[in-house]
Structure 1
Amino acid sequence: MLYWFLKHLALGPLLRVLYRPWVEGLEHIPTDGPAILASNHLSFSDSFFLPLVVPRRITFVAKEEYFTGTGLKGRFSAGFFRGVGQIPMNRSGGTASDAALNAGLEVLRRGELFGIYPEGTRSPDGRLYRGRTGVARLALKAGVPVLPVAMVDTEKIQPPGKVIPKIARVGVKIGPPLDFSRYAGLEDDRFVLRSVTDELMYELMQLSGQEYVDMYASAAKEAQARPST
């Protein structure tokens, strides 16, 4: 209920007026049935603008910290993300992420849309970073298409660390669905998972026009945070 209230009556109309989001490739979104929307991740606001332009409901994964904060801000954050039906994701990878992926699998089995950021975290500098293989495992287990999605200019309105976004136009590009059915049954093969992930990231690079960096965004953030010697 909160998802649709915000989209159509509260936040959505305001965002449309202020940011005038444009969208390309909306015809690639299936009118029914399951699919994964795999997006680059430039800004916190990505999770607002993509659902805004897609007619169907999207269930996203969100970082676990949004659900576990303390104090008034933490309680508000947890209540908001739970209220709009988002799924907490432990971003350390491996088995720690399995709960979120299993919840995503249930979303897809219900015939719904599931949104995920293959990079695992926001880009620290606007470039596209190496993808995590969770999206590939999920796609092969569920046997569903993956739609590459490029958010455009959202980092300009709300870069990392900025709480209140500035006003500027943003866009969304949705690419044709990627079919990985040729790898059915191989969701536990790490070489297949990496191949599927790299194919997806290549499509995201082509769609977004971003420079690609063959390292994880989390590692890039850690490197930036280390004091220079």
Structure 2
Amino acid sequence: MAELVYPPVVGAARVLFKALDLRFDMQGTENVPREGGLVLASNHISYLDFVFAGLAARPSGRLVRFMAKDSVFKHKVSGPLMRGMKHIPVDRRQGEHAYRHALDALRSGEVVGVFPEATISQSFTLKNFKSGAARMAQEAGVPILPVALWGTQRLWTKGRKRDFGRNHLPLGIHVGEPMKVDPEEPTAAVTERMRGRIQELLEAAQQAYPDTPSGPEDGWWQPAHLGGSAPTPKQAKSL
């Protein structure tokens, strides 16, 4: 079936990126397989992460179907776009339907995007991972593609106003090699391996990031363990 909505949305996003003068550090995009089912798993630090994680797959010509909460699909503006791009709505009270939808997509050769942390990390460190991404990959018999994003929290994140000014923000998108999964391996072990891969990519993206906070008030986007003023994981959990 022809993709009537996704390509124009991607094109509009690229125009917006250029208008905002965003500076991308994209590494490892050659690791995205050009065909076959794939679970793309990324850390989650911004409301716009699905846009940037999806951008990681574009050099390989892939379109990512993200799993997102169903309220986004009910919005009068985002709803038609999300449905047109064939993203997957998730009703957390009835998650099994979304899970089966994602499995069908994977088995038909699609890339399904998942944020294993489920919600935005306000500490900008990795939270505990849910097991759904690993379970899907095992059941569908497809690999997991680990992705780490960095800098996206500076555009729009939980508890902060959007900043869409033309401020030349650098954004890191680092893609690892696909992880093969064994259906017989304990799902918890697959989840922990995936989390470890994403942690390695995240640390590499942070080390390569060219900006540092300009002062104490600007340190909100830097994790506490790197000297910033973001909440610690324990503090973030209590928020």
TM over 0.5: yes
Q: Distance in 2 between matches of 1:16 and 1:121?
A: 28
Q: Distance in 2 between matches of 1:27 and 1:16?
A: 23
**2:7 maps to amino acid:** W
**1:3 maps to amino acid:** Y
Aligned ranges 1:157-176 → 2 under 5 Å: 157-161=155-159, 162-166=161-165, 167=167, 168-176=169-177
1:11 CA drift (Å): 2.2
For residue 189 of structure 1, what is the aligned residue in structure 2?
Answer: none
User: Per the alignment, in what secondary structure is the counterpart of residue 144 of structure 1?
Assistant: coil
For residue 64 of structure 2, what is the aligned residue in structure 1?
Answer: 58
Instruction: Tell me if the contact between 1:67 and 1:78 (Cα under 8 Å) persists in the aligned partners.
Output: yes
Q: CA RMSD in A?
A: 2.4
Identity %: 31
**2:33 maps to amino acid:** P
User: Is 1:119 paired with 2:117?
Assistant: yes
Aligned CA distance change for structure 1 residues 132 and 173 (closer, same or farther; 3 Å) = same
What per-residue deviation string (whole Å, max 9, x for no partner) do you get for residues 27-62 of structure 1?
110011111110001101111122234221111011
For residue 193 of structure 1, what is the aligned residue in structure 2?
Answer: 187
User: Is 1:202 paired with 2:200?
Assistant: no
For residue 90 of structure 1, what is the aligned residue in structure 2?
Answer: 91
User: Per the alignment, in what secondary structure is the counterpart of residue 170 of structure 2?
Assistant: coil
Aligned ranges 1:1-229 → 2 under 5 Å: 1-8=4-11, 10-16=12-18, 18-55=21-58, 56-68=62-74, 74-91=75-92, 96-161=94-159, 162-166=161-165, 167=167, 168-181=169-182, 183-184=183-184, 192-209=186-203, 223-224=238-239
- Which sections of structure 1, spanning at least 5 residues, go unmatched? 69-73, 187-191, 212-218, 225-229
User: Per the alignment, in what secondary structure is the counterpart of residue 15 of structure 1?
Assistant: helix
User: Per the alignment, in what secondary structure is the counterpart of residue 132 of structure 1?
Assistant: coil
Q: Distance in 1 between matches of 2:82 and 2:235?
A: 27
1:98 CA drift (Å): 1.6
**1:113 maps to amino acid:** V
Aligned CA distance change for structure 1 residues 135 and 45 (closer, same or farther; 3 Å) = same
Instruction: Tell me if the contact between 2:56 and 2:175 (Cα under 8 Å) persists in the aligned partners.
Output: no
What per-residue deviation string (whole Å, max 9, x for no partner) do you get for residues 61-96 of structure 1?
11122123xxxxx3223223222221112346xxx3
Aligned CA distance change for structure 1 residues 164 and 100 (closer, same or farther; 3 Å) = farther
**1:202 maps to amino acid:** G
Instruction: Tell me if the contact between 1:21 and 1:49 (Cα under 8 Å) persists in the aligned partners.
Output: no
TM-score, normalised by the number of residues in structure 2: 0.77
Instruction: Tell me if the contact between 1:25 and 1:173 (Cα under 8 Å) persists in the aligned partners.
Output: yes
**1:66 maps to amino acid:** V
**1:80 maps to amino acid:** L
Aligned CA distance change for structure 1 residues 67 and 110 (closer, same or farther; 3 Å) = same
Instruction: Tell me if the contact between 1:120 and 1:132 (Cα under 8 Å) persists in the aligned partners.
Output: yes
1:125 CA drift (Å): 1.9
The list of structure 1 runs, each at least 4 consecutive aligned residues, that deviate by more than 4 angstroms after superposition, is: 219-222
Aligned CA distance change for structure 1 residues 139 and 221 (closer, same or farther; 3 Å) = same
Instruction: Give the length in aligned residue pairs.
Output: 203
TM-score, normalised by the number of residues in structure 1: 0.80
1:164 CA drift (Å): 4.5
Instruction: Tell me if the contact between 1:91 and 1:120 (Cα under 8 Å) persists in the aligned partners.
Output: no
Q: Distance in 2 between matches of 1:16 and 1:36?
A: 29
Instruction: Tell me if the contact between 2:152 and 2:171 (Cα under 8 Å) persists in the aligned partners.
Output: yes
Q: Distance in 2 between matches of 1:4 and 1:121?
A: 27
Aligned CA distance change for structure 1 residues 134 and 150 (closer, same or farther; 3 Å) = same
Instruction: Tell me if the contact between 2:66 and 2:113 (Cα under 8 Å) persists in the aligned partners.
Output: yes
Q: Distance in 2 between matches of 1:180 and 1:43?
A: 28
